[in-house]
Amino acid sequence: MRRLTSLLVLVFLLSLVGSSFAVETKIMIRARAKDAKFIGTSMGGALVTIRDALTGELLSKGLIQGTTGNTKLLMTTPIVRGMKLTDDRTAGFEAVLDLSEPRKIEIEVLAPYGQPQAMARATVTTWVVPGKHITGDGLILEIPGFVVRVTNPTAHTFLKAPASFSLVATVTPMCGCPVSPNTFWKPEAYEVKAIVKKNGQPFKTIPLKFSGKTNYYVASISLNEPGAYQFTIYAFDPATGNTGVDMTTVVVR
């Protein structure tokens, strides 16, 4: 019994010694929409997960929160080496890791967290060293794509033949930045179309036009025959490759 007690005390003391060498190490992680600004609280933030790249051990987890950043700086200012792109309000998540030795970590970002149908995943692997903070702009992960959301008709809408309605969808960069003639994100720069299936078979492709209201695209739809119609609306930017998709369904009786 005395030997067991001594062994337990020794293990406890060794754990204290090991933990005493752990050093708090700060890492700032940010998510930036491709061809746009940072993804922040206005889009639900971004979920950050940090793991040991070799063992898979979970080291930290949290949400990126804050503002989308300075529009002029991010969209018009020529960027030179060493230029700071963020300030204290810019969206980010500061992880604090207790490190006793250098570790290779994998950082995963899911964004925008408030738009599940558009959420994209980006990862990066890097070494971190105890006490060597990665702060300031930190590590910026780029998130490509568009947030596309069909606002009319809602899924599984039932209509009587012949049916006429407006197909309406919103389109924004992943940061939620406004698509409008008066912004950096011009509506005419994007191809927005609906790929329509009838009873599971290809039916037609219909272009959506900018409505004049920020972010909104619309098309007039006429369906004369009964059937189950699926609308897959996509937005595509040929200049950047940014792409987004959402879907809805209509049943015509």
Q: How far apart are CA 136 and CA 218, in angstroms?
A: 42
Do 48 and 152 lie in a common domain? Answer: no
pLDDT of residue 1: 56
Quick check: helix, strand or coil at residue 205? strand
Q: Do the Cβ atoms of 204 and 222 come closer than 8 Å?
A: no
Do 38 and 120 lie in a common domain? Answer: yes
Q: Pick the closest to residue 62 from 43, 78, 46, 80 (CA basis).
A: 46
Do 151 and 180 lie in a common domain? Answer: yes
Q: For position 42, which CATH number holds?
A: 2.60.40
Do 74 and 106 lie in a common domain? Answer: yes
131: left (phi over 0), alpha (psi -120 to 50) or beta: left
Do 111 and 232 lie in a common domain? Answer: no
Q: Pick the closest to residue 27 from 121, 127, 116, 97 (CA basis).
A: 97
Q: How many helices (H) and strands (E) does the chain have?
A: 2, 16
pLDDT of residue 17: 47
Do 99 and 168 lie in a common domain? Answer: no
pLDDT of residue 18: 47
Do 91 and 152 lie in a common domain? Answer: no
Q: How far apart are CA 8 and CA 21, in angstroms?
A: 21
Do 79 and 187 lie in a common domain? Answer: no
Q: For position 201, which CATH number holds?
A: 2.60.40.10
pLDDT of residue 21: 85
Q: Which of 91, 112, 143 is the last residue of a domain?
A: 143
For residue 42, count CB atoms less than 10 angstroms from its CB and return exposed for 0-12, middle for 13-18, buried for 19 or more: middle
> For residue 98, what are the domain limits?
2-143
Helix (H) or strand (E) holding 95: strand 93-99
Do 94 and 179 lie in a common domain? Answer: no
Task: Give start and end residues of each alpha helix (H) in the chain.
Answer: 2-20, 71-75
pTM: 0.87
Do 7 and 128 lie in a common domain? Answer: yes
Q: Pick the closest to residue 125 from 142, 141, 105, 108 (CA basis).
A: 105
Q: How far apart are CA 170 and CA 162, in angstroms?
A: 26
Q: How far apart are CA 163 and CA 217, in angstroms?
A: 20
Per-block mean pLDDT, blocks of 10 residues, the chain (253 long): 56 49 96 98 98 98 98 94 95 98 98 97 98 98 98 96 97 98 98 98 98 98 96 99 98 97
Q: Which of 90, 118, 143 is the last residue of a domain?
A: 143
DSSP 132: -
Do 11 and 46 lie in a common domain? Answer: yes
Cα–chain center distance at 232? 20
Do 217 and 112 lie in a common domain? Answer: no
Look at the chain and report how many structural domains it folds into.
2
Q: Which of 143, 160, 177 is the last residue of a domain?
A: 143
